Chain A
Amino acid sequence: MENKVLNKVGLIFENVDPKEVLTKAFNMSKDEVIQQVLDSGLKGRGGAGFPTGLKWKFTAAEKDPEKYIVCNADEGEPGTFKDREILDRVAYKVYGGMAIAGRTIGAKEGYVYLRGEYKFLLPKLMKELDDFHKMIDEIGYDFRIHYRLGSGAYICGEESALFESIEGFRGEPRNKPPYPTTSGVFSKPTSINNVETLVTVMMIIKDGAESYFKLGTKDSRGSKVFSISGDTPTPGIFELELGMSVQQFVDEFGDGDTKAVQVGGASGFCVPRKKFTETIIGFEGVPTGGSMKLFNSSRSMYNVLHNYLDFFTEESCGQCTPCRVGCQQLLKGVEKVKKGESKSTYLNELVKLAETMKIASKCGLGQSVGNAFRTIVENFREEIIY
């Protein structure tokens, strides 16, 4: 396994001339743009990590004349706040990425779905969008972006739930297939990309796929914006090259007493101290949409797990039984074990339930509850029981 040293990068927040980058992209053929994105090795930055170039290729191949590009700015994963910072500082690069995606896949319209919690940003973002629309009019490219606000539902960060919400329905995930590339928002072929992914595309077009490909490892190319919080002297946003170990990360951001790092938020994985050195942050180890929470030895991992389960119980859309009932039972279960009402071996049954939810749940929410549950219970069993 490759292992990189911790390396701070400054691609995402670098100021560029958007007109120059867009002109460069528009002078390339659509296939060339797709090839550049494929060659860069870029995987979606929301957390799921689907190769962006492939997503565009599939959407571009659809025959329907009406297609959409959607920017997923419904950043709700506990511990993630990078998309807010990106939109606040370089929204024009998000819009630029959408325009490049739009031309590549054949979409004339785009939507930004912004979580309701970030509504305070909207006036500024709309003003910058006006300027952006003027700029692309000058280039002579016909493309428009619209804003849609969320209303406090974590599940709407799931792509098909997000489409339902834009269409004016309850944010309940759809069955897949069909995938968004064939049937997305308004049942039209849609490419839905994370805020950071779209900005990264701007930089890949500007600097070339090769220079991006040089960063990171075989499975995790490039750099990533991390949202760092918890027990750290330096909480905030940091862009780092992918491929470092959790140990290197903790050496830089820990407070000297880090006992666990939760990588990828409530739906991510808990890495205990004894596994810091062997665990790589990236798709070959622990994948993350950017959420990194550090816990020191003063923290109870029972409280952490309880907090996450409470979160999922509230945010499960309730549509499918494994997730709706599973979340509730996991929460009740750990409470019972803690109070001594159930034997500690009951935790094994709960881990089985979490595994069942992974197989049987309809969408990523229910499927990933088990990640945190299993890794916390396995590594901090005593803290859950006593």
Chain B
Amino acid sequence: MYEVEDLVKDLSTKYGTGRSSLMPILQGIVEKHNYLSDEVMVEVAKTLDISAAEVYGTASFYTFLDTQVRGKYVIRVCKTITCSMKGKGEIMQVIEDMLKIRPGETTPDRMFSLLETNCIGWCHKAPAILINEIPYTELTPEKVVEILKSYMKTK
């Protein structure tokens, strides 16, 4: 709980406590913890002097402001048309097999979450995924295996 208070305090010092600081603060929390817990949203509400429902209402609108537990590395597989045409299915299958989770799930050790996402702007280098904010493009099943292995090593 103290950790949550400190983080929100740091972020509100950096971005301010006005309503327009809400998004940068929530984004800062997600950057650190990968999702927004109920405690942290209540703390943000207190700090900005708005209701917790306002914080949740705003957060739940945005796909990248997750209000569910997410792993340290959030893998977002682009499912929009070009990626879908160029082998998104295969890429997804390889990730599912390696991590033993389905889209929407998180590994039990909370290292990886697997999600589908809409166009991430790499159609000319499809298929593409994001791992946290880093894009990986022109993927093949082999390339994905290598990329995931490198993340697994950083445990």
Contacts and interface: CB of A to CB of B under 8 A. Distances in A.
The answer on A and B forming one complex is: yes
Interface of A: 75-81, 84, 115-120, 148-154, 165-172, 186, 227-231, 235-237, 266, 293, 299, 303-304, 307-308, 310-311, 314-315, 317
Given A151-B27, A151-B65, A235 B135 contact: no
B18 to A, nearest CB: 8
Contacts, number: 117
A231 B126 CA distance: 11
A75 B121 contact: yes
Nearest to B123: A229
A311 B64 contact: no
A118 B121 CA distance: 9
Nearest to A119: B133
Contacts of B19: 167-169
Contacts of B84: 303, 307
Given A79-B82, A168-B22, 5 more contacts: A76-B121, A78-B118, A151-B23, A153-B61, A237-B124
B57 interface: yes
Interface residues of B, number: 36
Nearest to A317: B61
A308 B81 contact: yes
A230 B23 contact: no
A168 B23 contact: yes
Interface string B58-78: 100111110000000000000
Contacts of A227: 123-124
Nearest to B119: A78
B62 A171 contact: yes
Given A120-B133, A152-B63, A170-B61, A78 B80 contact: yes
A150 B62 CA distance: 8
A228 B27 contact: no
A77 B124 contact: no
Chain A at the B interface: SS class: mixed
B61 to A, nearest CB: 4
Given A81-B123, A151-B63, A311 B82 contact: no
6 contacts: A76-B121, A79-B123, A170-B61, A266-B81, A307-B84, A315-B118
Interface string B2-42: 00000000000000001111111011000000000000000
Given A120-B134, A148-B23, A165-B23, A81 B81 contact: no
Given A168-B19, A311-B80, A117 B130 contact: yes
B121 A153 contact: no
Nearest to A82: B121
A81 to B, nearest CB: 4
Contacts of A235: 123-125
B150 to A, nearest CB: 17
B124 A81 contact: yes
B133 A78 contact: no
A151 B27 CA distance: 8
A81 B118 contact: no
